[in-house]
Structure 1
Amino acid sequence: MTTLNHPAQELLSRLDGFRVEIDADRKRADIILDRPPFNIIAMAQRDQLRAVFEALDEDPRVRVIVLRSIGEHFSSGGDIKGFLEATPEHVSKLAWNIAAPARCSKPVIAANRGYCFGVGFEISLACDFRIASETTLYALPEQKLGQIPGSGGSARLQKMVGVGRTKDIVMRSRRIPGKQACDWGVAVACVADAELEAATDALVAELVEFSPLAQRTAKKLLNDTEDAPLAIAIELEGHCYSRLRSSEDFREGVEAFHAKRKPNFTGR
């Protein structure tokens, strides 16, 4: 029999600047940026982060993924020197790697504090939920280097806050505090720095109570219809609703509602 090798296995064997922790009891995985003091994200690390998200997406122990960091800052951005050393082909994959949280079928939470700049902001924008602490500063500072965001940051931000605010952030390299980001809908909450972990834990605990099948369906539907005309989005929503109508989780949810008990969702 021919032995097959997958490059992702080599990527996962020596994680660069971060680690992964799985808590099967809480159905949770944490991807923890750990390159103090600023958690700079290296070029190789981008490939590894993509591979880790793909691996966790297939892990049956995990229902929710949290992207967080060690220290005062989430991430001050990428390894600047690495951009000049990387090949054009490698650079062309930057946005694909950083979009891994969006492609992942499971809910992904970014817990942000301190500096959340450049690729740190971009990968947070690719997550489903962002919780900011009052110390958080979001920025896309690439204009100061004679560049623009290259991992989806300006595109995702424009969808969230509009072209005017995005121009103000990108073209001026402005730093946006967590409270303002929350007011604009970029973050779902802005909490005291000491409460960031508790707020993240609470959101994880809330999300794991829902049907994993319904959550996967909702995430994919919302991602797929972000740019769709209203009529097409409604049509696709109807098809998704129809498919879930025959699921065991929907039957369980209806029966639990009528019996006034907590549902036991299995993802089928």
Structure 2
Amino acid sequence: MTTKMTFTDPRLAALNGFRVELTPDKQRADIILDRPPLNVIEMAQRDQLRLVFEALDEDDRVRVIVLRGIGEHFSSGGNIKGFMEASPEHVSKLAWNIAAPARCSKPVIAANRGYCFGVGFEISLACDFRIVSETCFYALPEQKLGQIPGSGGSARLQKIVGITRTKDIVMRSKRIPGKQALDWGIATECVPDNKLEAATDALVDELLTFSPLAQRTAKKLLNDTEDSTLAIAIELEGHCYSRLRQSTDFKEGVEAFHGKRAAKFIGS
């Protein structure tokens, strides 16, 4: 059964343009952008999204987080007027707020369809997996406003597709369709629009079969070594491997393998 989540933090008493649902039997939480038809993301919403990711990271009922939108479009981006009204101090925090999915220790899946522009694209890039429908279009259109992406979009994109393709997307405000996003390594999977929910559900189910401790370790290791030298990355990988060698989950995994049965991981 899926239930609407409430939070003890008074700053989350009334969520701005989105809601959070918990499915306990799936150990799943859905953050649902709910300001149709375009799910525009307000300035205050960015702060709340960060706080929600932090709260879900601490919630033992949640193993996997899904970020999705209501309707035909994930999000057309931010409220343009909000940029002019926000203080410089507030604007300087935009990238930190939108990076919340990357900092979260748990797997985060973005389910994208239709428009996924501006901050909608940037927060999706901060997720671990991007499942896109064939209707999806990714774009960073800030050049049309005389601006550049301000929430980590160009930086994350360059790490994924390289400088040439990033310039093509950013400097021309170019729209990238779902299939092309898959070919370029931006999307994890591209499916027909009517299969987006099923593909997302299947990935959630798959992730739940693995050790939560091993998944947290893998995510942090990969994030932390993205900019490191190969030697440092291998060294850190070795330390993480050694630490997991002592875990109950690894012992269970080895015993399950030899016993030809499904492992029952507990996250320790």
Q: Does 1:258 align with 2:258?
A: yes
Code of the aligned partner of 2:107:
P
Q: Secondary structure at the match of 1:60?
A: coil
Tell me the amino acid that sits aligned with residue 57 of structure 1. Answer: D
The residue number in structure 2 matching 1:223 is 223
Quick check: 1:65–1:106 contact (8 Å CA) kept in 2?
yes
Q: Which residue does 1:107 correspond to in 2? A: 107
Distance 2:258 2:240 in 1: 24
Separation (CA, whole Å) in 2 of partners of 1:182 and 1:31: 23
Q: For each residue in 1:97-144, what CA deviation from the matched residue of structure 2 results, as whole angstroms up to 9, or x when unmatched? A: 000000000000000000000000000000000001000000000000
Q: TM-score, normalised by structure 1?
A: 0.97
Aligned mates of 1:9, 1:79 — CA distance in 2 = 25
In the TM superposition, what is the alpha-carbon distance from 1:12 to its structure 2 partner? Answer: 1.1
Partner Cα separation in structure 2 for residue 98 and residue 51 of structure 1: 11
Match of 2:177 in 1: 177
**Counterpart in the other structure of 1:3:** none
Q: Give 1:16's aligned residue.
A: 16
Deviation at 1:10, TM superposition (A): 2.2
Conserved 8 A contact 1:134-1:191: yes
Q: Deviations over 1:158-177 (max 9, x none)?
A: 00000000000000000000
RMSD of equivalent CA atoms: 0.6
Rounded to whole Å, the distance in 2 between the matches of 1:168 and 1:234 is: 33
Give the aligned residue type for 1:45.
Q
Equivalent positions of 1:122-161 (< 5 A) are: 122-161=122-161
Equivalent position SS for 1:130: strand
Amino acid at match of 1:184: W
2:251 alignment partner AA: R
Structure 1: gaps of 5 or more residues? 1-7
Please state how far the C-alpha of 1:11 moved relative to its aligned partner: 1.9
State the aligned residue count.
261
The sequence identity of aligned pairs, in percent, is: 81
C-alpha contact 1:11 1:47 (8 A) present in aligned 2: no
Q: Distance in 1 between matches of 2:11 and 2:157?
A: 29
Q: Which one-letter code corresponds to 1:20 in the other structure?
A: V
Instruction: Show the 5 A alignment for 1:110-121.
Output: 110-121=110-121
1:55 aligns with 2:58: no
* One-letter amino acid of the counterpart of residue 43, structure 1: M
Do the aligned partners of 1:33 and 1:74 also contact (CA within 8 Å) in 2?
A: yes
Instruction: Give every structure 1 segment of 4 or more consecutive aligned residues whose post-TM-superposition deviation is greater than 3 Å.
Output: none
